[in-house]
Structure 1
Amino acid sequence: MAITLADAKLNTTDDLDLMVIDEFRKSSWLLDNLTFDDVVNPAGGGATLTYGYTRLVSERGAAFRPYNTEYATAQAKRARYTVDLSPLGGAFEVDRVLANVGPAATNETAFQMGQQIKAARTFFSDQVINGVRDNTADAEKGFDGLDVALTGSSTEMNATASVDWTGATLGTDQAKAHDALDLLDEFLSLLDGTPSALLGNKKTLARVRSLARRAGYYSRTENAFGQTVESYNGIPFVDLGDKAGSTSPIIPVESRDVDGAGPGTTIDGLSDLYAVRLGLDGFHGVSTTGGAIVRQWLPDFTTAGAVKRGEVELGPVATVLKATKAAAVLRNIKVQ
């Protein structure tokens, strides 16, 4: 069975659980729209939190067959992958004296809970892009993000070159603006269906917004929470924000040696743009059977002890890419 956080909310009766789920949903387009395949069953002897799947790596083509000849043989290629589900989140402590200072909506407990939810959903978004599975002697945690999964794949575009999408360039040269639009459309065509979203940082998405306006493909709608969602030709573009506890964007803007020629050839202000097609046959999340995707534990001030602990947890979860063509990355866009 596949569920979303909206589905998980329907099975919740506790008002606090509803609030926590809504906070995850309205602060993250990705978590609000990502489907979780809740099939991993940790119950029973010898059970594990490992999800195994087959990724379609490359498709095969077709051709005409001249009479009295055979078709040339070719096979679509698949690869076997596994991922271990891990919980993510954090804990906080509140002094019982401070717990009830101020209105309930803004007291210390509510503030710490809100900040922990923000950190957890931001960390999840970070792992979706930059995650690298940590295989150590004493632990296996995390999952490979799209940056790892798409490196060297057929849907990684512009890996050894750079394109200048800065306002100074596109704003003064109509030919280059049209070239940028052509490149963007070519990039989107790499996927095996219409992308569900474009994932980027503020600077990159500002350039996509500019291109969308030039082409007449820019639109704005409201989601269930009354928030504005911007789109390029009907494809929402989503700012993943900054890393948890940092002002550095999840998808970085950095200097790179694009051509690999060594020192002195780096280009400043480069970033990447990701496109994903969400679905159980594309890019989706994984969770445990019958388990709550989001859980919280409030500090218990009914027992002795001055300082009490609270926690927020997402998972155990992971994300998987079932088909290479369900995601793509456009590398080395100069945005500043």
Structure 2
Amino acid sequence: MAAFTLAQAKNLSQDKLTNYVIDEFRKSPLLDAMVFDDTVKPQGGNTMTYVYNRLKTMATAEGRALNTEYKPQQADTEQVSVNLKVFGGSFQIDRVIANYEKQVLDLVKFQLEQKTTAVRTLFQDWFINGDSAKDTTAFDGMAKALKGSSTEVTLDASSLLQLDSAANVKANWQSFLYELRQVEKLLDGEPGVIAVNNDLFAVFQSVADFSTQFQQTKTELGTHIVKYGNATIMKMGDKPGTSTPIIETDATAGTTDMYLFRIGLDAVHGVTPEGTKEPKIFLPDMTRPGAVKTGEVEMVAAMALKATRSAAVLHGIQVAPAQKVGA
């Protein structure tokens, strides 16, 4: 099987516009870091279903006395099927505007950029919140995969982390990092990604003022990156076309969630049909009849969680003041 990143896909492409679209997708730190596997079947051809074994219980080892046998124990897996989903969007533009208004704005490029932004944001939304039982067009995401698992952690009222003001961040930042490490230790390896919303990202930036464990840098595309150890703290942003956060902050409790995961073909990764193909773009064809032309951006993908312990979620981080009942 082939595995690729968007950066590698760009190197394989000779088309300038395709490279431009890939760079737009890579402005998402999640998509830029993501590794994609393909769905090529051993007997040849592609399929829209990716089947794999998810590791639930790891193998153990032990010592034994002479003339005794080992106690049999097997690693426990479950077969999981991921159905790839088609998602994207289209835009329309009049051929006259496209041909004669470029001195003001290249409208085709502008619409392509905006549609690409929406598509990559939808991938991020489904990556966290996707649930094919609620929306048949969506692939299943992290929240559904971790529901009820040993790496889903919820802070109770007695250990609620109050980080909803500058004073509380100063008082509780060490407790916050302690709870973060308690979740990290549940994983089967060091996480490469900590996915958060804007509220929690701002908290991390404030905590970085007190801790020496953080680094701040920029990608080659100019995206601002904050790292805790080797983990990149990623803002997941808003759902496409809205101001609703992908990872929400509860309006009443003021609490939010934090997702930690390791990217790799043995952990969390993306899936595409061919593995070495970039997201597709379909430009308006100005040579065809018809006054109004259509362009499209499309991706066929899903998310796979190979090992339950390669990802975790922490619920109940208070990043906004709780609202009083009846207020």
TM-score tier after normalising by the smaller chain length: 0.7 to 0.9
| Inter-partner Cα distance in structure 2 for 1:56 and 1:24 | 30
| Inter-partner Cα distance in structure 2 for 1:43 and 1:73 | 34
Tell me the residue number matched to 2:277. Answer: 292
Secondary structure of 1:213's aligned partner: coil
Which structure 2 residue ranges, 5 or more long, are not aligned? 321-327
Instruction: Report the AA paired with residue 81 of structure 1.
Output: V
Tell me the residue number matched to 1:30. Answer: 30
Instruction: Report the AA paired with residue 278 of structure 1.
Output: I
Following superposition, the deviation at residue 104 of structure 1 comes to 6.4
| Inter-partner Cα distance in structure 2 for 1:23 and 1:128 | 18
Instruction: Report the AA paired with residue 20 of structure 1.
Output: V
| Inter-partner Cα distance in structure 1 for 2:254 and 2:168 | 15
The answer as to 2:102 corresponding to 1:125 is no
Which structure 1 residue ranges, 5 or more long, are not aligned? 256-266
The answer as to 2:185 corresponding to 1:200 is no
1:134-157 CA-to-partner distances (Å, cap 9, x unmatched) read 489xxx543210000011111111
Secondary structure of 2:55's aligned partner: strand
The answer as to 2:149 corresponding to 1:164 is no
After superposition, residues 308-327 of structure 1 pair within 5 angstroms as 308-314=293-299, 316-327=300-311
| Inter-partner Cα distance in structure 2 for 1:90 and 1:278 | 27
User: Would the aligned equivalents of 1:38 and 1:286 in 2 still touch at CA under 8 Å?
Assistant: yes
After superposition, residues 239-318 of structure 1 pair within 5 angstroms as 239-255=235-251, 268-289=253-274, 292-314=277-299, 316-318=300-302
Following superposition, the deviation at residue 233 of structure 1 comes to 2.0
Tell me the residue number matched to 1:330. Answer: 314
Tell me the residue number matched to 1:150. Answer: 146
| Inter-partner Cα distance in structure 2 for 1:284 and 1:90 | 23
User: Would the aligned equivalents of 2:281 and 2:298 in 1 still touch at CA under 8 Å?
Assistant: yes
Following superposition, the deviation at residue 120 of structure 1 comes to 0.1
Tell me the residue number matched to 2:222. Answer: 226
| Inter-partner Cα distance in structure 1 for 2:17 and 2:104 | 12
Count of aligned pairs:
317
Instruction: Report the AA paired with residue 328 of structure 1.
Output: A
Residues 1:101 and 1:230: Cα distance change in structure 2 (over 3 Å): farther
| Inter-partner Cα distance in structure 1 for 2:247 and 2:174 | 25
Misfit runs of 4+, over 6 Å: 42-45, 66-69
Residues 1:212 and 1:297: Cα distance change in structure 2 (over 3 Å): same
1:255-294 CA-to-partner distances (Å, cap 9, x unmatched) read 4xxxxxxxxxxx5211100011000000001112366231
Residues 1:290 and 1:275: Cα distance change in structure 2 (over 3 Å): closer
Instruction: Report the AA paired with residue 34 of structure 2.
Output: L
Secondary structure of 1:214's aligned partner: coil
Residues 1:125 and 1:33: Cα distance change in structure 2 (over 3 Å): same
Instruction: Report the AA paired with residue 198 of structure 2.
Output: K
Secondary structure of 1:153's aligned partner: coil
Instruction: Report the AA paired with residue 307 of structure 2.
Output: A
**Greater mean deviation of Cα atoms: 291-300 or 100-109:** 100-109
User: Would the aligned equivalents of 2:126 and 2:140 in 1 still touch at CA under 8 Å?
Assistant: yes
Instruction: Report the AA paired with residue 21 of structure 1.
Output: I
| Inter-partner Cα distance in structure 2 for 1:107 and 1:189 | 50
Following superposition, the deviation at residue 306 of structure 1 comes to 1.3
Task: Give the structure-2-normalised TM-score.
Answer: 0.88
After superposition, residues 96-115 of structure 1 pair within 5 angstroms as 96-103=95-102, 106-115=105-114
Tell me the residue number matched to 2:324. Answer: none
Secondary structure of 1:281's aligned partner: coil
User: Would the aligned equivalents of 2:153 and 2:314 in 1 still touch at CA under 8 Å?
Assistant: yes
1:51-75 CA-to-partner distances (Å, cap 9, x unmatched) read 1000011225455557776655543
| Inter-partner Cα distance in structure 2 for 1:239 and 1:177 | 19
After superposition, residues 87-98 of structure 1 pair within 5 angstroms as 87-98=86-97
More strand by share: 1
Residues 1:309 and 1:56: Cα distance change in structure 2 (over 3 Å): same
| Inter-partner Cα distance in structure 2 for 1:246 and 1:134 | 23
Q: Taking every aligned residue pair, what percent have the same amino acid on both sides?
A: 40
Residues 1:181 and 1:117: Cα distance change in structure 2 (over 3 Å): same
Following superposition, the deviation at residue 133 of structure 1 comes to 1.7
User: Would the aligned equivalents of 1:40 and 1:287 in 2 still touch at CA under 8 Å?
Assistant: no
User: Would the aligned equivalents of 1:276 and 1:283 in 2 still touch at CA under 8 Å?
Assistant: yes
Tell me the residue number matched to 2:323. Answer: none
Task: Give the structure-1-normalised TM-score.
Answer: 0.86
